[in-house]
């Protein structure tokens, strides 16, 4: 029988297994060793590996990111954890100016095997500074890899791949996805950079969903199937390097692409995917493209506003229907069993 784990436990297990067989792997960050253990993703690690390899830090994101880079230069494989992706803005200088560049600007003499874990928040009033999906910032910069796994299986496999990578990897989690459960092998395995996954096969429209929006895309696919529209859903998993071939192959077949970003659309990951698909296919066939993502506002905490801020399964399905039929006259009735599990506080 296949073993089922939560996304949280998949992350915890990947970290534990890598720390067990490689003493150079260490994990730290704000609250990594506190009673709540980063939603449980670091549970049991300080007890097993001690406070020298698993430790909490001061609220010094800038210096601790720089320190993580220095540790990596010395041959360790640090995992630096940020419980909010928003907090990474305090680490940008070190990530962009050193982590991404050290290997290149030192002529290949150093490697930076660093993993930076961060979590995007959503729901229950997370508000402007607990909700941002800023991974496209990191996709912009050569020298960084970016992964945003959606399933527990990919959470484990891509974290192991990230830890073993000799380059800095931005590992992007989502608080809603932490509740996901799924098949996770007990063995060590990797979900390697640059390979997307087709999560539902279809023929009429290609829907690419990033991070938690992948879940919404699968809901949209369900709604669409009820009216006879066949959607192919793709999870890019790794955003940098990006597996554009899998996406372009799908669009070559369907002729239609919707990219649903877990962030704002302008200069976003979805914009990049749309542009690359267009470059691939423009000489082959005509295609139609639509981008979706956060509303072009800050994220509001009030529930009615927050609901309108994000794309969801219904709005994605409606957009796909319009792209396929050319008519904007359908919005599926909400099926409550398809609603996501909401994150509720306190936290």
Partner 1 sequence: MYDNIFRSLYLIRRTEEEVARAYPTDKIKSPVHLSIGQEAVAVGVCEALGPEDIIFCSYRSHASYLAKGGDLNAMVAELYGKATGSAKGKGGSMHLVDIPHGVMGASAVVGTPIANAIGYAYALKLRHSNQIVACFFGDGATDEGVFYESLNWAAVKELPIIFICENNGYAIHTAQSTRQKNTQLWQKAAAQGVPAERIDGNDVLSIYEHVSETIQSLRTKKAMGPFFFECMTYRWREHVGPNEDYQLGYRDLSELAPWVETDQVERIGGMLDPIQRKQIEVDVEAEIASAFLYADQSPFPDPSELYTDIT
**Residue ranges in contact with partner 1 by CB under 8 A:** 26, 52-53, 57-58, 60, 62-76, 78, 93-94, 97-98, 102-110, 142-145, 167, 241
Residue 147 or 259 with smaller CB distance to partner 1: 147
Q: Indicate the angle between helix axes 152-164 and 7-21, nearest 10 degrees.
A: 30
**Residue 226 falls in the annotated catalytic set:** no
Strand pairing report for 4-6 and 181-183: antiparallel
Q: How far is the CB of 64 from partner 1 (least distance, A)?
A: 7
Select which of 82, 130, 174, 178 is catalytic. Answer: 130
Smallest separation (angstroms) from partner 1 to the CB of 19: 13
User: Of the two residues 99 and 220, which places its CB atom closer to partner 1 in the complex?
Assistant: 99
Instruction: State which residue, 126 or 158, has the beta carbon closest to partner 1.
Output: 158
Q: How far is the CB of 76 from partner 1 (least distance, A)?
A: 5
Which residue from 249, 252, 227 is spatially nearest to 327, judged by alpha carbons? 227
Catalytic residue among 18, 61, 173, 306: 61
Q: Where are the beta strands (DSSP E) in the chain?
A: 4-6, 25-29, 54-55, 77-82, 115-120, 145-147, 169-174, 181-183, 197-200, 205-209, 231-235, 238-240, 256-264, 288-294
Cα dihedral 5, 9, 7, 85, rounded to 10, equals 180
Supply the Cα-derived Rg of the chain in whole angstroms: 20
**Secondary structure E strands in 161-317:** 169-174, 181-183, 197-200, 205-209, 231-235, 238-240, 256-264, 288-294
Based on the residue annotation, tell me whether 130 is a catalytic residue of this protein: yes
Distance CA 199, CA 218 (A): 8
Residue of 15, 20, 145, 166 whose CA lies nearest to 80: 15
We find the least distance from the C-beta atom of residue 67 to partner 1, in angstroms, to be 3
C-alpha 141/C-alpha 62 separation (Å) is 18
- The nearer residue to partner 1, 66 or 133, going by C-beta atoms, is 66
Q: Give the Cα separation of 1 and 183 in Å (integer).
A: 10
Q: Which residues of 312-323 are buried (b: 16+ CB within 10 A; e: fewer)?
A: bbbbbbbbbbbb
- Residue 29 tokens read as 């960050």
Nearer to partner 1, 52 or 187 (CB): 52
Toward partner 1, which CB reaches closer, 63 or 128?
63
Q: How far is the CB of 163 from partner 1 (least distance, A)?
A: 15
Q: Could you give the residue numbers annotated as active site?
A: 61, 130
């Amino acid at each position: 029988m296949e073993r089922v784990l939560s996304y949280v436990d998949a992350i915890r297990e990947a970290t534990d297994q890598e720390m067990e067989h490689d003493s150079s792997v260490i994990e730290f960050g704000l609250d990594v060793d506190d009673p709540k253990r980063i939603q449980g993703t670091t549970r049991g690690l300080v007890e097993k590996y001690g406070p020298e390899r698993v430790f909490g830090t001061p609220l010094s994101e800038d210096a601790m990111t720089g320190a993580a880079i220095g540790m990596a230069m010395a041959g360790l494989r640090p995992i630096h954890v940020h419980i909010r992706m928003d907090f990474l803005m305090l680490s940008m200088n070190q990530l962009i100016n050193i982590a991404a560049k050290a290997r290149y600007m030192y002529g290949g003499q150093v490697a930076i095997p660093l993993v930076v874990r961060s979590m995007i928040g959503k729901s229950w009033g997370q508000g402007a500074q607990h909700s941002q999906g800023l991974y496209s910032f990191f996709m912009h910069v050569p020298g960084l890899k970016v992964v945003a796994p959606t399933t527990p299986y990919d959470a484990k496999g891509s974290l192991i791949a990230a830890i073993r990578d000799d380059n800095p990897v931005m590992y992007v989690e989502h608080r809603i996805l932490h509740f996901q459960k799924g098949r996770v092998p007990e063995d060590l395995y990797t979900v390697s950079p640059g390979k997307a996954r087709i999560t539902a096969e279809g023929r009429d429209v290609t829907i690419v969903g990033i991070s938690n929006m992948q879940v919404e895309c699968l809901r949209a696919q369900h709604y669409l199937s009820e009216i006879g529209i066949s959607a192919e859903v793709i999870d890019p998993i790794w955003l940098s390097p990006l597996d554009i071939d899998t996406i372009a192959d799908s669009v070559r077949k369907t002729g239609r692409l919707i990219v649903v970003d877990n962030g704002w659309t302008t200069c976003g990951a979805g914009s990049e995917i749309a542009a690359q698909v267009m470059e691939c296919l423009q000489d082959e066939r005509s295609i139609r493209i639509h981008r979706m993502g956060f509303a072009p506002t800050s994220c509001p905490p009030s529930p009615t506003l927050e609901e309108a801020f994000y794309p969801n399964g219904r709005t994605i399905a409606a957009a796909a229907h319009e792209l396929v039929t050319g008519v904007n006259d359908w919005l599926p009735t909400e099926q409550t069993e398809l609603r996501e599990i909401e994150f509720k506080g306190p936290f």
